[in-house]
Structures are given as structure tokens and as C-alpha cells.
Chains A and B, each alone.
Chain A
Amino acid sequence: MNILAIDTSSKPLSVAITADDQILSEVTLNKGFTHSQTLMPTIDDLLKLSQLTIKDIDGFAVAKGPGSYTGLRIGVTTAKTFAWTLHKPLFALSSLEVLARNIQQRSQLIVPLMDARRNNVFAGVYQWTLTNDNHLENVVSDRHISLTRLLAEIKELNEKAVFVGEIKPFMSQIFAELGHQAEFAATTANLPAAANLGLAAIDATPIKDIYNFTPSYLRLTEAEVNWQRNHKDEGHDPYVQEV
């Protein structure tokens, strides 16, 4: 099964084509171009270099979030449109899990994180399942959380934890709090690798309702938060309505 995998959840762009448990090709771009400009040309290049056409793709996989809102929407809209228009299955994985899959250590906790500004992060805690070598267990769900609170919780777990992803700005804080309980991923492991996404997709359940599939933002917009302070978000007319 050929899978086209797309991760646009953070600044780097990663696209890969996998065939069952093989990686056929992968490109990761980390030059800060907009995903809107680079995603489709990268897909086109990768298909050509792999001597495939889009019709040879049997399924699409996408990093569904959390991450940068605009980036997520470009990846998710592109992947879901492909799956819909070509009648192929769509697979979605947490973008934090995609990062966690860069870490090979089998016994440690893996803490993928992304910078969510103002010393907040998107983070989760993962661990490889020893009985199934393609299964990464989500020990603590992905959340939008202050770094301080995240580190306090990890400390509580009292196990060695490998931090991976956008860790650079937080390293000194992490080390100050956790000392040698914390390990840090190597530079090559800190960028999302879409091949991991494609390889994981073969064991994933396809998205049932492609139409209504949306990114996992893990955060409401500020406008909605403010509105919900004084209103109940139920019993209303549909927010989006064909007229």
C-alpha cells in the first residue's frame, strides 16, 4: 500500500511516500517557506522522483495537530481533499506522535513538544509498547500546557524522559527542573519525519468521516473562549449552514 504522508504542523515541511513497511522517499524542508507555496511542489517532486503518479497512491496520511493553525489547515485540507477526490483512505496521526516516533529508546518516556509561545507548549507523553514494535502508547494525552506544569507532571512520573521537537528554547528550563531525569533528542530527530507518519498509518484505522475531519487544534480561539464565559454553546442553529 503506497501512502503519501504530509506533516505541515510546524515550521518544517515533511512529505514522504511509503510502501507498506518501506520508505520510498522523503523530503523535509526547514527553510521557513510558507507551506502553501511548498507543499504541492514537494508532493509533485517526490512523486516524480519515486516514478509514481498521484493515482498510484493508495492512501493519504496527515499530521492532524496540534501545531501552527494555518500550517495544520493546509496539510489537513490537502490530504482530505486528495483522499476524497481520489476515493482513497485518509489516516491521521497526532503531530506530537509523529515527532515521538523519531525516538528509538524503548524504555524511556518520550515527551514531544512544540512551542506555543509565552512559555506554553503543546506536549504529550508517549512510550513504545514492548509487545508491538510499531505501537507507540500515548501515556499522557496531547495538551496545550504551560511548560512549568508539564515539567512538574513529568517529575512526578519519576522516569527517564526524552524530550523531542522544538526543545531548543526550553532546554535550560527542562534541565533545571528535571536534571538527569531529562534527555534531549539529537538535532536530526527534532524535525518531523513524514516517513514515520506513513509507516504508522498502515496500522491505523482510516478516518470514517472525511468530510467533517478537522485538525486537532487543542485550543479554542480567543473569541470563542471569551464568548463561552457568558454563553452556553448549545441549542444553537448550526454554525455552518448551506443556504
Chain B
Amino acid sequence: MKATNELILAIESSCDETSVAVVRDGQTILSNIIATQINSHKRFGGVVPEVASRHHVEAILVAAQDALDEAQVTYDDLQAVAVTVGPGLVGALLIGISAAKAISFAHSLPLIPVNHMAGHIYAARLVHELTYPLMALLVSGGHTELVYLRAPGEFEIIGDTRDDAAGEAYDKIGRVLGVPYPAGKTIDAMAHEGKDTFDFPRAMLQEDNLDFSFSGLKSAFINTVHHAEQKQEALLKNDLAASFQASVIDVLVGKTIKALQQYPVKQLVVAGGVAANQGLREQLAAHLAAAGLDQVEVIFPPLRLCGDNGAMIGAAAHVALQKHEPFADLTLNADPSLSFDYAETMLS
């Protein structure tokens, strides 16, 4: 195998995006086809797992064919097939896994099982060279985690949410504000038009750990809105959005800085759907400088690579291949609650 020409076909179907990509050496995207189901789940105000699974069956081969066509590769050019095994919706994951197994079996290609969260982190590899040790702040609809990487492919969770994920909180308060699903982008925009006037709680910010909590903020937000409704007071929606977002970002930024102080690294990767948040990007840069951490290089993958996509799975698969991690066999199953290991200090 020529190290400079390793091509991986990578499949992602863990939630509501069906995506297939061809990635060279874990860093060059030859194709990254993303079919989103947002128009469907918008109807229900959130992702309905059974509907998502059905859409994946419709979309998977179109995406795979388009990915191969756009990359102009044949199966003979490929070194491996990679697929997300978890975390995610079990029925959705199984579509990608079934397709990946059939392709790998039909063409005698090794099958690389990939942790979706490793994919989010390694999306950064597609735009930037990574140096270790490395810190990653993972924020998405399902996760809010600080992950420390001593070396490539060695993931340790050093901070985690105790309740809701940040993205989940956005969707829940979005419903209260009447913002259509998914709410993140709209609330981010509204926040830029408003002011932090409500001073919502910053949960766990003063505590001496690296964990997060967003359910208290969500409750405070909902109580404020209901209270005003009862008194027939009109609240400025943009100010509500700005106040909510300020609290989320303060906590994310505060905990990330604490983590960087405890675990010195050269680079910070901000990954996951919420990494697209403009407010987070601005605040993180400002606060790192203020905390004297401006030597830490912050990498935000471009917006298209922050959401779920196959290329990030291909990038993570490359790292697994380099580390000679074991391939999956034909019994490979979905692992909907797959997680990185927690750092020793968190278990004590």
C-alpha cells in the first residue's frame, strides 16, 4: 500500500444525514455527498427515529454512487470501507452498516468501524495538520464533551454534560420561542440582534470540574417566558435568545479554558454541529487571549464539516488504519451508546 495514496470510502448515517465520502490519506476530500432529511423532520419539530431510518434506505445508494462518481474512483482504487457504528440512532446506524458490510464483502475490502465522535474531532484533519497532545470541545445535538488526545486516536473524556447536550438545549428553547427545528442557526442569528438582559444562570461554571449542565438554564428560560405570559408581558425574543446563548457560551468557554489550563496542549479543535455557532467562535477567541492562552491554536472546521458527514468518518478511519486497529468482522452491529473512555481522574 502506498502511504501517499490511501483511499477510503466512508459512510455516515447515525442521525438525519445520509453521507458517503471518498477521502485520501485522511486529509483530502475527493467527494463528500451529504443528503439531509431536515425538510422531513422539520414537520415533527425534531428527528423521528423511524422516519430517519426509512429515509436512509432511500438515500444511501444514491449518495454512494454520487460519491464514487465525483471522486472518479473504482473499488479497485480503495483501501478500505469505513462506517459509523455509534453513537447514534440504532435503526439509522444499521443502514450505513448494512451497506458498508455488503460493499466491503463484495469487493474484499477491509471494514473500519468508526466512532461518530472521533469523526467530529478528525473533521479538523481535513483542513489542518494536527499536533498532539490535542484538546477537543465537542458540541452537538447529542453531546457536549471535552476530549483530551494524548496521541492520535487516543481519546479520553475529561468533561461531559450531566444532563442535556448544548444542541439539545437550543432545540428545546427554540420550541418555546417558536423557532422551527433545527433551532441553532436561527437562535445564533437572533442572539446577535439582542442583548444579554436576563442574566440566566451559568451552571457549574464556578465548580472545580470540567463538566457541563444545561437543564437548569433550560428551566430558567422556560420559567421566565411562562411567568411573562401569565403577567401578559411581552419579552424581546432577541434578548431572550442573546441571554440564553450568552449563558451557554460562557459555560462552554469557561470550562474549555479550565481544561486547557489543566491539560496544556498546542491545539484546540472545536467540533460538532454547535461548532458552527458564530457567537461561540467569537467568544472563544477573545477569552483565550484574555486567559493568556493565545499560544493555543484553535481549529474550527468549516461549517460543512461541522455537521454530520462522511468525510469526517474517512478522516477518523485513516487514523485507525495508521494505528493498525482491528478491522470489523461480518458480525459488526450498531452501538448506539458508544462512548470514548473517561479519563482516570473523572472516574475517581
Contacts and interface: CB of A to CB of B under 8 A. Distances in A.
Is chain B a partner of chain A in the same complex? yes
Given A36-B94, A41-B331, A224 B51 contact: yes
A40 B102 CA distance: 8
A56 to B, nearest CB: 12
Contacts, number: 127
A242 B48 contact: no
Nearest to A228: B43
Given A69-B50, A70-B91, A223 B61 contact: no
Contacts of B33: 242
B37 interface: yes
A240 B55 contact: yes
Contact of A77 (B39, B63, B99): B99
Given A36-B334, A73-B94, A73-B95, A81 B103 contact: yes
Given A37-B331, A240-B58, A241-B36, A78 B65 contact: no
Nearest to A81: B102
Interface residues of B, number: 47
A192 B64 CA distance: 31
Interface in B98-141: 98-99, 101-103, 105-107
Nearest to B63: A242
A86 interface: yes
B39 A238 contact: yes
B57 interface: yes
A10 to B, nearest CB: 16
Interface in B244-291: none
Contact of B53 (A70, A86, A231): A70
A80 interface: yes
Contacts of B39: 236-241
A172 interface: no
Nearest to B111: A40
A69 B58 CA distance: 14
B169 interface: no
B312 interface: no
Contacts of B43: 223, 227, 231
| Secondary structure dominating the interface of A | helix
Interface in B58-76: 58-66, 75
Given A34-B333, A69-B53, A85 B102 contact: yes
Interface string B216-260: 000000000000000000000000000000000000000000000
Nearest to A45: B330
A44 B330 contact: yes
A126 to B, nearest CB: 26
Interface residues of A, number: 42
A54 B8 CA distance: 22
A77 B64 CA distance: 13
Given A69-B50, A211-B61, A239 B40 contact: yes
Question: Among A38, A78, A85, which residue has the most Cβ atoms of chain B within 10 A?
Answer: A85
A240 B40 contact: yes
A40 B50 contact: no
A81 B98 contact: yes
B192 interface: no
Question: Among B34, B57, B102, which residue has the most Cβ atoms of chain A within 10 A?
Answer: B102
Given A70-B53, A212-B58, A81 B63 contact: no
A157 interface: no
Given A44-B105, A239-B39, A239-B40, A210 B61 contact: yes
B143 to A, nearest CB: 22
Contact of B101 (A34, A40, A214, A217): A40
Given A37-B331, A221-B48, A239-B40, A84 B65 contact: yes
A36 B66 contact: no
A54 B106 contact: yes
Nearest to A84: B61
A76 interface: yes
Contacts of A242: 33-36, 62-63, 66
Contact of A82 (B54, B62, B64, B102): B102
Contacts of B58: 212, 214, 240
Contacts of B48: 221, 223
Contacts of A80: 61
A124 interface: no
10 contacts: A77-B99, A80-B61, A81-B99, A81-B103, A84-B61, A85-B75, A85-B102, A212-B58, A223-B50, A242-B63
Given A69-B53, A81-B106, 20 more contacts: A36-B97, A37-B333, A39-B98, A40-B101, A40-B102, A40-B330, A43-B105, A77-B99, A78-B99, A78-B101, A80-B61, A82-B106, A85-B75, A211-B65, A223-B50, A224-B51, A239-B55, A240-B39, A241-B39, A242-B33
